[in-house]
Amino acid sequence: DGKRKTLDGVFAVEQIFIDARKSLKASNQDLRKAFGTEDVYKIAEVILREGDIQLTAEYRKKLKEEKTRWIVNYIHRNFVDPKTGLPHPVSRIEKALAEAKVKIDPLKEPEAQIKDVVESLRKVLPLKSGMIIMDIEVPAAVYGKLRAFLGGQGDILREEWSKDGSHAILRIRAPLGSQVLILERVGQAGGHVKVIREEG
């Protein structure tokens, strides 16, 4: 049955507990009284939809680490130090999170936490956000690889090929924090970068 397949990965064991830590199983009478059924799959569906799922401390810690890593990388990529125009190193962002006593919610999507995290971080770490528009000359020999990289860094706004086909010029819009990485990669590939303007 479809419900059983959907919920297969949810159960550690196919039983409902009153207190899992003490291994106190719910009796069939308790289940009928609380849920109107003894079917563990129907009960699991109700718990998942309406209940408060108790996570192990280890799993909660893992979720928090993943969300923190995502947030740190997002800040590293999308914000720069206004004094230098360069992204803050990841270690500095992590240190600032601790210093500002920022609480990352392991159950909330990281995108929904960014605004509050940045607001808290700004008390201890200067942050400037914005976008940069660049024209990038890409040699034909490395076009595919470099275009894929640039597409991952920002939005490709325009693309033109030279008349002789030796290179393409891509106009991209990317977060300020990506500028250094773009300059390095394009330079290593034999391309050139021209900054058009900063936005925002």
Segment 147-167, tens digit of pLDDT: 999 999 999 999 999 999 999
Helices 40-50 and 28-35: crossing angle, nearest 10°? 50
The residues near 147 (Cβ < 8 Å, ≥ 6 apart) are 138, 156, 168, 170
pLDDT in tens, 101-152: 999 998 888 899 999 999 999 999 999 999 999 999 999 999 999 999 999 9
How far apart CA 129 and CA 115 sit, in angstroms, is: 12
Q: Provide the CATH number for the domain around residue 37.
A: 3.30.1250.10
147 shares a domain with 190: yes
pLDDT in tens, 59-79: 888 999 999 999 999 999 999
Structural domain ending residue among the three candidates 65, 93, 128: 128
Q: Quick one: which of 80, 70, 75, 69 has its CA closest to 180?
A: 80
Rounded to whole angstroms, the Cα distance separating 26 from 52 reads: 17
| Residue 85, H or E segment | none
SS (H, E, C) 88-136: CCHHHHHHHHHHCCCCCCCCCCHHHCHHHHHHHHCCCCCCEECEEEEEE
Do 141 and 124 have their domain in common? no
Residue 45's pLDDT band (cuts 50, 70, 90): confident
What is the span of the domain harbouring residue 38? 2-50
CATH number at residue 148: 3.30.70.240
Q: How far apart are CA 51 and CA 39, in angstroms?
A: 17
Per-residue tokens: 132: 């940069």
- Number of domains comprising the chain: 3
State the burial class of residue 88 (Cβ atoms within 10 Å of its Cβ: 0-12, 13-18, 19+): buried
Question: What residue type is 168 in one-letter code?
Answer: A
